[in-house]
């Protein structure tokens, strides 16, 4: 992939920036230069977004990279053109963003957009507008995804140098992300959790066994001692259970025998109790029968009462009919008396109504005169109606005329008022240009203040970073002093051990010298003066190597701390310069805003900016308020102009209506005068005529209503008299019939009383009739008595037959024997239950123990195997190498093999990478430690001992190798351009020369290499550049610099 052109709009610090990479086509190496925070890496973010729809880093999304200064009407957009394998690809992408609506007011969130055009020989061959299809096409063309693209194209030199020097644990974290080996880590975590669960279960089973043994109820003969182990206790429990089981079987038989004896004694007692009860029941029955016999006279009287009530019950209907007839006679007589009275009243009323009829007949002639007058007046009424109608029309015309006159006057007044008010608005609107100018200046100052606040916030961040860096440098310097002391002490110790080992070797040589044998040092066979040395304790090679290794580790720490201090001091210098430059730029901006800070302290400047912002906000609100008022006045002015035009039109129309109303009023007045002249005398208006007609109608209607009512009432009275006469005749006949029937029924009742043997009074019969409702109760009472007597007689006979010749038995002896047997049985049962309960509980405990033992034996082998597996996978063993690190070790070997091709070439054959072969003291520094083989000295040494330039070459070789490995995994794709991000700021001049020579050598392997750095010395070394300039308003611009345009 070869970039051709990149355009950034409202992205990061770029407002509208185009970078023509094709102008760098002759460059093998080019520099992207600019101060920290100017937007150098944003260029690579834009390329990544154009290709894949997201930025190079996962830390922030592209939506958050929209420029703070972007106009809400202008979108954020990236336009990227690149060439790959003979085709040209042109991509335009817009992220999701909030912009002003294209129509109407307010804002709207617009979704992501994109379009991909593909050209071959300047002719478009394809166009893709769906985002998903664009992403798939790009991945298909480049054959790598976004993560691989970032890893391959952008080489974070500083990160790889840190990776090179980091312990195995940190390398593992980096490689895990690259090669996606999180699965192995999850396996290890899963197996470790499984091991913990299995171990916990194993301990739970053991604890359950111990708790179960503690709950055993021991017999004294089997109770274990305090030091008895669990296995022995389990055997004792088995023996105890077997012994108790035999005892329970024997006691169970004894218990059954005792229960049988007690049952027989209870049966005998129950039989005797039954005999005694039967004797008692017989005596009670005899007493009840004797008591009933004493009541026989009372029940004989009750029987006679029942017979009399049955006789009265038969006569009750006749008695009730006699009483009904008496009531009917009384009622009919009362009705007859009332009918006579009503008939007399009706005949009297008939005479009065007839007299009224005669009077109405005499008024008939006068009524005919009234009817004739009504006919004449009715005929004249339309003329009066016409007169009233004309009066109303005259009145309406006068009112309309008055309204038109009032309306014309009002319209003239309103028009004058509108004209005066409109002239005032016109004078006020003339001030708008000056107020708009004031508003623009206030808004511009507000934006400048906001930019100054952001710059101040950035300065606070820089100050915080600088303070933090100063603290870290102090800590590093303190650690360096400690490590320097450690190096001195370990060097002294190593020298002592070396010297002691040499002395020991000398002692051995002296002791081994024999006459005639050559000296191992000078070769002489004569040894006239052998060295006299004291016998010293020998020093093992292992101790010497350990001291050397400790010294080497201390040197590594010293070198690492020295490098770290230099890097941080360089960062300290850069931050200080950035802080100073930013503060000067901020003070210049404040001076342009006419703000005079009291001091150069950031807190004081912050206070000055806040006060200036508050003052400007008040001024802005005031100007905005005045401008809003003028806008309202403009709207009012337009409305008033419209209203004035409407008012003039309305006034013209009203004047025309006034003239028409005057003509109409005059016409109706003439017509009214003609009609009045032809009206009859005596009635001034139609109301007087209607009043007379109403009076005539009322008199005529009243007379006719009185005649009709008199006729109707006379007819009703005649009908009533006829009805009352018929009712009287009917009642007299009913009274006669009822009287005859009542006499007959009364005679029958008297004859029945006379015929009865024991009753001779009619009053007694009436009393019995009133008691007939008690007949059922008395019959039931008599029946119950007779049934009780019969039942007791039968029971006495049956009980006597059942008892026979038996006498009552004394039960005390039987009860005493039963109590004795029950007491013995209860005691024996309690003993048996206690022993059986103890046996049952112990048996359940024994089964639980056996189950836990079974689980322990069943899972013991699995737990052991799982422990071995966890130890192997996690690396908690002598090798200190887990499964994931083993896999990553193989990947790192691939990377080192690819890196050695570059490292050997770039170091002129002196260095190659090699994995550290021995295990470290801890797992964190085992498995992924990297050494270098130095061909000049012929042995391996730590990467910490490399110089700054050598570390740059080593880390660059690693970065290139990682890219090659990823390219190889992606199908061997071809990358034409690489970017190297930072890693140069910590190099001294000599190391920087080595780095630049290294990059020159790489030019033959890649078509183009871009270096992203803020180091100023690189600008004089690399002629092709993209220079990024940071402006005071938060914006940045980029400029292509070539050897032709440099001067």
CB 19 within 8 A of CB 6: yes
3-state secondary structure of 366: helix
**Whether residues 342 and 455 fall in one domain:** no
Query: Angle CA(562)–CA(923)–CA(180) in degrees, nearest 5?
Result: 95
Q: What is the CATH number of the domain that holds 90?
A: 3.40.50.300
**Whether residues 583 and 467 fall in one domain:** yes
> Which among 376, 634, 285, 583 has a CA at the least distance from the CA of 462?
583
> Which among 89, 127, 96 has a CA at the least distance from the CA of 110?
96
Does residue 682 sit within a domain?
no
> Which among 988, 986, 942 has a CA at the least distance from the CA of 164?
942
Does residue 525 sit within a domain?
yes
- The torsion angles phi and psi of 143, rounded to 5 degrees, stand at 65, 25
Residue 528's pLDDT band (boundaries 50, 70, 90)?
low
Does residue 839 sit within a domain?
no
**Whether residues 335 and 480 fall in one domain:** no
User: Of 545, 575, 596, which marks where a domain is finished?
Assistant: 596
CB 71 within 8 A of CB 15: no
Tokens 């912009």 correspond to 99
Q: How far apart are CA 626 and CA 188, in angstroms?
A: 72
If you average pLDDT over residues 714-719, what whole number do you get? 86
Q: Residue 443, exposed/middle/buried by CB under 10 A (0-12, 13-18, 19+)?
A: middle
If you average pLDDT over residues 589-606, what whole number do you get? 84
Q: What is the 3-state secondary structure (H, E, C) of 610-665?
A: HHHHHHHHHHHHHHHHHHHHHHHHHHHHHHHHHHHHHHHHHHHHHHHHHHHHHHHH
Query: Where is 282: in which H helix or E strand?
Result: helix 230-293
For the ranges 81-90, 336-345, 406-415, the one whose mean pLDDT is highest = 81-90
- Average pLDDT value over all residues in the chain: 80
Measured in whole angstroms, the distance separating CA 96 from the mean position of its chain's CA atoms is 25
* Selected residue with higher pLDDT from 427 and 455: 455
Number of domains in the chain: 3
**Whether residues 356 and 436 fall in one domain:** no
User: Of 534, 563, 596, which marks where a domain is finished?
Assistant: 596
Does residue 117 sit within a domain?
yes
User: Of 529, 561, 596, which marks where a domain is finished?
Assistant: 596
CA distances from 981 to 156, 717, 965 (A): 5, 133, 19
What's the pLDDT score for residue 841? 87
Q: How many residues does the chain have?
A: 1047
**Whether residues 464 and 558 fall in one domain:** yes
Does residue 954 sit within a domain?
no
Average the pLDDT over each of 864-868, 870-874, 999-1003 and give the range with the smallest value. 999-1003
Average the pLDDT over each of 13-27, 837-851, 863-877 and give the range with the smallest value. 863-877
What's the pLDDT score for residue 943? 82
Q: What percent of the chain has pLDDT over 90?
A: 7
If you average pLDDT over residues 717-737, what whole number do you get? 86
Does residue 624 sit within a domain?
no
Q: How far apart are CA 142 and CA 508, in angstroms?
A: 70
Does residue 936 sit within a domain?
no
CB 654 within 8 A of CB 408: yes
Does residue 50 sit within a domain?
yes
If you average pLDDT over residues 829-856, what whole number do you get? 83
Q: What is the pLDDT of residues 319-375, one digit of tens each?
A: 788 788 888 888 888 888 888 888 888 888 888 888 888 887 888 788 788 888 778
In this predicted structure, the answer to whether residue 985 has a pLDDT above a threshold of 60 is no
Reported in sequence order, the residue ranges of 25-153 that DSSP labels E, i.e. its strands, are: 29-33, 77-84, 87-94, 97-100, 107-110, 113-120, 123-128
- Which domain, by its residues, includes 720? 297-362+688-760
Q: What is the CATH number of the domain that holds 740?
A: 1.10.287
Measured in whole angstroms, the distance separating CA 730 from the mean position of its chain's CA atoms is 96
């Amino acid at each position: 992939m070869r970039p051709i052109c990149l355009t950034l709009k409202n992205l990061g610090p770029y407002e509208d920036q185009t970078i023509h990479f094709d102008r760098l086509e002759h460059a093998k190496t080019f520099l992207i230069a600019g101060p920290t925070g100017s937007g150098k890496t944003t260029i690579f973010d834009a390329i990544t977004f154009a290709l894949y729809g997201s930025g190079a880093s996962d830390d922030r999304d592209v939506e958050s990279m929209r420029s703070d200064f972007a106009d809400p009407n202008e979108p954020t957009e990236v336009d990227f053109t690149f060439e790959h394998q003979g085709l040209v690809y042109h991509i335009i992408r817009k992220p999701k963003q909030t912009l002003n609506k294209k129509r109407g007011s307010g804002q709207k969130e617009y979704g992501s957009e994109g379009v991909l055009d593909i050209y071959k020989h300047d002719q478009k061959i394809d166009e893709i507008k769906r985002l998903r299809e664009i992403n798939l096409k790009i991945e298909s063309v480049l054959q790598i995804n976004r993560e691989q693209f970032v890893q391959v194209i952008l080489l974070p030199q500083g990160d790889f140098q840190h990776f090179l020097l980091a312990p195995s644990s940190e390398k593992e974290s980096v490689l895990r992300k690259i090669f996606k080996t999180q699965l192995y880590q999850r396996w290890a975590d899963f197996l470790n959790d499984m091991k913990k669960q299995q171990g916990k279960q194993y301990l739970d089973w053991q604890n359950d066994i111990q708790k179960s043994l503690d709950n055993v109820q021991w017999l004294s003969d089997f109770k274990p001692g305090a030091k008895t182990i669990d296995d022995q206790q389990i055997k004792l429990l088995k023996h105890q259970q077997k012994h108790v089981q035999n005892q329970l079987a024997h006691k169970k038989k004894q218990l059954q025998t005792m229960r049988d004896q007690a049952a027989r004694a209870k049966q005998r007692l129950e039989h005797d109790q039954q005999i005694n009860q039967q004797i008692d029941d017989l005596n009670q029955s005899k007493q009840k029968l004797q008591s009933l016999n004493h009541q026989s006279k009372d029940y004989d009287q009750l029987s006679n009462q029942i017979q009399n009530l049955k006789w009265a019950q038969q006569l009750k209907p006749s008695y009730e009919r006699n009483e009904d007839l008496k009531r009917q006679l009384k009622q009919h007589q009362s009705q007859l008396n009332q009918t006579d009275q009503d008939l007399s009243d009706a005949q009297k009323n008939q005479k009065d109504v007839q007299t009224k009829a005669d009077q109405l007949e005499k008024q008939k002639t006068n009524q005919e005169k009234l009817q004739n007058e009504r006919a004449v007046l009715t005929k004249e009424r339309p003329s009066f109606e016409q007169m009233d109608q004309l009066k109303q029309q005259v009145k309406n015309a006068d009112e309309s005329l008055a309204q038109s006159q009032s309306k014309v006057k009002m319209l003239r007044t309103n028009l004058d008022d509108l004209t005066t008010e409109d002239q005032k608005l016109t004078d006020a609107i003339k001030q708008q240009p000056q107020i708009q100018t004031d508003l623009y200046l206030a808004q511009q100052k507000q934006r400048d203040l906001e930019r100054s606040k952001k710059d101040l916030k950035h300065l606070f961040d820089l100050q915080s970073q600088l303070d933090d860096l100063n603290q870290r440098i102090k800590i590093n310097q303190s650690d360096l002093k400690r490590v320097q002391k450690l190096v001195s002490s370990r060097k002294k110790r190593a020298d002592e051990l070396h010297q002691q080992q040499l002395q020991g070797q000398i002692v051995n040589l002296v002791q081994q010298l024999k006459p005639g044998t050559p000296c191992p040092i000078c070769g002489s066979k004569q040894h006239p003066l052998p060295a006299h040395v004291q016998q010293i304790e020998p020093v093992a090679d292992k101790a010497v190597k350990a001291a050397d290794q400790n010294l080497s580790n201390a040197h590594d720490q010293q070198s690492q701390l020295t490098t770290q201090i230099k890097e941080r001091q360089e960062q300290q210098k850069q931050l200080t310069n950035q802080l100073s430059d930013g503060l000067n730029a901020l003070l210049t901006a404040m001076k342009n805003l006419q703000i005079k800070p009291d001091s150069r302290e950031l807190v004081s400047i912050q206070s000055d900016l806040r006060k200036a912002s508050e003052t400007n906000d008040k001024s802005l609100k005031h100007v905005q308020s005045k401008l809003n008022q003028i806008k309202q006045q403009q709207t009012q002015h337009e409305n008033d102009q419209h209203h004035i035009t409407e008012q003039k039109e309305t006034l013209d129309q009203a004047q025309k209506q006034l003239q028409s109303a005057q003509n109409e009023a005059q016409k109706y007045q003439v017509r009214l005068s003609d009609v009045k002249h032809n009206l009859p005398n005596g009635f001034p208006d139609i109301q007087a005529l209607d009043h007379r007609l109403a009076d005539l109608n009322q008199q005529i209607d009243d007379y006719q209503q009185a005649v009709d009512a008199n006729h109707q009432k006379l007819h009703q009275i005649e009908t009533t008299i006829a009805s009352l006469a018929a009712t009287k005749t009917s009642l007299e006949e009913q009274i006669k019939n009822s009287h005859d029937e009542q006499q007959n029924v009364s005679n029958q009742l008297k004859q029945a009383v006379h015929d009865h043997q024991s009753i001779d009074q009619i009053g007694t019969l009436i009393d019995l009739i009133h008691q007939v409702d008690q007949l059922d109760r008395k019959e039931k009472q008599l029946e119950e008595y007779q049934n009780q007597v019969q039942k007791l007689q039968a029971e006495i006979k049956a009980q006597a037959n059942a008892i026979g010749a038996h006498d009552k038995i004394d039960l005390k002896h039987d009860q005493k024997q039963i109590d004795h047997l029950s007491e013995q049985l209860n005691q024996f049962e309690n003993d048996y239950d206690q022993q059986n309960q103890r046996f049952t509980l112990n048996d359940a405990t024994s089964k639980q123990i056996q189950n836990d033992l079974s689980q322990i034996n069943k899972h013991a082998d699995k737990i052991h195997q799982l422990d071995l597996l966890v130890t192997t996978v996690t690396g908690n063993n002598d090798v200190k190498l887990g499964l994931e690190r083993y896999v990553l070790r193989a990947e790192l070997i691939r990377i080192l093999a690819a890196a050695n091709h570059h490292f050997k070439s770039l170091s002129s054959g002196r260095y190659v990478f090699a994995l550290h072969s021995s295990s470290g003291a801890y797992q964190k520094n085992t498995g992924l430690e990297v050494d270098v083989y130095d061909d000049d000295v012929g042995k391996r040494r730590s990467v910490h001992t490399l110089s700054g330039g050598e570390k740059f070459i080593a880390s660059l070789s690693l970065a290139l190798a990682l890219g090659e490995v990823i390219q190889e995994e992606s199908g061997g794709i071809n990358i034409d351009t690489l970017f190297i991000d930072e890693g140069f700021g910590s190099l001294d001049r000599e190391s920087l020369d080595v780095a630049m020579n290294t990059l020159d050598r790489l030019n033959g392997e890649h078509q183009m290499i871009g270096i992203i750095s803020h180091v100023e010395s690189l600008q004089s070394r690399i002629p092709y550049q993209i220079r990024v300039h940071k402006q005071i308003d938060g914006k940045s611009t980029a400029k292509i610099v070539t050897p032709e345009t440099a001067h």
